Structure 1
Amino acid sequence: MRPAEQSPRPGYTTEFAEEYDRWFGKPRTTGATVTALAALAGDGPVLELGIGTGRIALPLRERGLPVYGVDSSAKMVRQLRAKPLGSEIPVTEGDFADVPVTGRFTLIYLAGGTFGELRDQESQSRCFVRAAGHLETGGVFVLDGHVPEALAAATGPDIVSEGDGHLVLCYRRLDPAVQHYRSHYVIHEDGRTRHLRVDFRYAGCGELDLMAQRAGLRLKERWGDWSGAPFTRDSASHVSVYERP
């Protein structure tokens, strides 16, 4: 069993579950993500690792794709189940690094930086290997993430969400010695302020490509974001699409 401090998706799965969609479900980003994934999926079936509240999975299901999920948080999955069509998506509770499902898929994906929640190289590499084993020939494994150099250059907090009566700020602090960064979320709502810390492991594109190669996958495409913008020297994030030959 993995030590408790290494379990994926710490803290915010309980703190954020009821507010996750309101704070993080930006319609433009969600729409672009769903459109890109639907184009890659063919007729499916599709598997989301870290399915959470179903922000991405449910719109894919609405497009007629058979969607499955894995998540370690029962509270996040309860939010999924409470939504229309949420009960129609089979979800396996467990560590998504292990991809604890049966069957093969045309598309396996992680979105919203979820891959970084696997906080050591071994678990990230294992996720690649296990995902590759569940892909159809020609199927794709897709993930997004920050470009480490852009993370290191960023200054000041980002506004995650704001509205009448609430403000959510995020500040990231890097530890290059262990390729970790900690996201500090400051949440002010209803006159109350909370501070939540969430840890991630970042990996550069070269390291990800090597993990993919060792898992028997090859890089098919890399974009600067989910809209399909080119990946360039100025890109702050990436979407990497790996194919099983």
Structure 2
Amino acid sequence: MIYKHFRHATSLLTYGDFTFLLDPMLAPKEDKPPIQNSSNDNRNPRVDFPIQLDQIEYPNFCLVTHLHLDHFDDYARNLLPKDIGLICQTQDASKFRDMGFNNLYPVETSIVIGSVEIVRVPGQHGTGEIAKLMGTSSGYILKTAHQPTLYLTGDTIYYDAIAQTLDEYKPEIILAFTGGARFKVGDPITLTPEDVQSIRLKAPKATIICTHLEAINHCLTTRGNLKEHLLAHSEGSFIIPADGELIHI
């Protein structure tokens, strides 16, 4: 498995026979306004994309966990080839069709692409009324022969369904969307350091790759305080990649 981290949740994942572009947010630094009802007025994205956009070699497939603008933005909509194999939630398929994409792979429960099985698993993007407003947000399990089982959490908090997913699939690699994103009022809507610790306790042998950090103004967890918390409170392998970092596992 090869993981190329770009920024936030955007990356290239080579898994089995395929390379997948994950959650492309391609806008330049500070091109977008702050997230509404957040605790600061910093524009987004907070950091530059680590390479020039014309240097991206678009693979045959793109996986979009959900259709929030920090996971699929207008730059991605305009730059991605319209015939790219676009893997998405069934709830998002009609919106992608309206954008002109014509090679969709909507996932209700699972799909198989070549030798790779992609299973959609639950996520919860916050608590209470905020979770309802945030809409459906899914995670994904990737499985293939001779590769570690991979769990892509998507935007979620840690709750019972996450524990059940870890028990059922026993992933060896976990791509965790962290950042502790939150609004002025209410609980976090993505994984906090405490949530990552809970994942570690449930899956002590897995390697956790922590992403979704320091690129959007309401993601308040930094790489530094996440690393400090994990070193102090849990054991096991974790990676907090820098923007542009390449990881071989």
Structure 1-normalised TM-score?
Answer: 0.39
Structure 2-normalised TM-score?
Answer: 0.38
Query: Relative to total residues, which structure has the larger helix share, 1 or 2?
Result: 1
